[in-house]
Amino acid sequence: MKFFIDNWFLFLTALVSGGLLLWPKLAGGGGAMGRISPAQAVQLINREKAVLIDVCEPAEYAAGHAVGAKSVPLGSLAGSNDLPKNKAVPVVLICASGARAGRAAALLRKAGHEQAHVLAGGLAAWREANLPVEKSA
């Protein structure tokens, strides 16, 4: 017991550093529910039938979007019929950079979609990975 009392600062330092290492996972920013790479997104789409949702504005979507992505602008996400009815189905959210997709993922998680993922880097990362992009007429 004397050892613990004499070295309380070391134990406190170890606890704080461990907490800081775990913080991203506990806050929801890391792990399976956080940002995923384009390769991970393709795996989710192929293996678990994930739905790809583009939360860009209609003009941005028309200028270029990932093939197979459904257009659901961030402002109309809450009442959209394009979201999967089964809330256990994985959803991959994409936008130009990933910022709007992060907000969309938070909204979907609050609505019960446990597997709402954000494509890290957005459409730019999708293009950089040489994945197909199409334009709307």
Residue extents of the structural domains in the chain: 1-27, 34-134
Tell me the C-alpha distance between 28 and 88, whole Å: 17
Annotated catalytic residues are 95
CB 61 within 8 A of CB 20: no
The pLDDT of residue 38 is 94
The pLDDT of residue 30 is 43
The pLDDT of residue 128 is 94
Q: Which two tokens stand for residue 95?
A: 């936008």
The pLDDT of residue 10 is 86
Which stretches of the chain score pLDDT less than 50? 29-33
Predicted model pTM:
0.74
- 34-134: CATH topology is Oxidized Rhodanese; domain 1 (3.40.250)
Tell me the C-alpha distance between 61 and 72, whole Å: 9
Tell me the C-alpha distance between 72 and 81, whole Å: 9
Checking DSSP bridges between strand 91-94 and strand 116-119, what pairing results, if any?
A: parallel
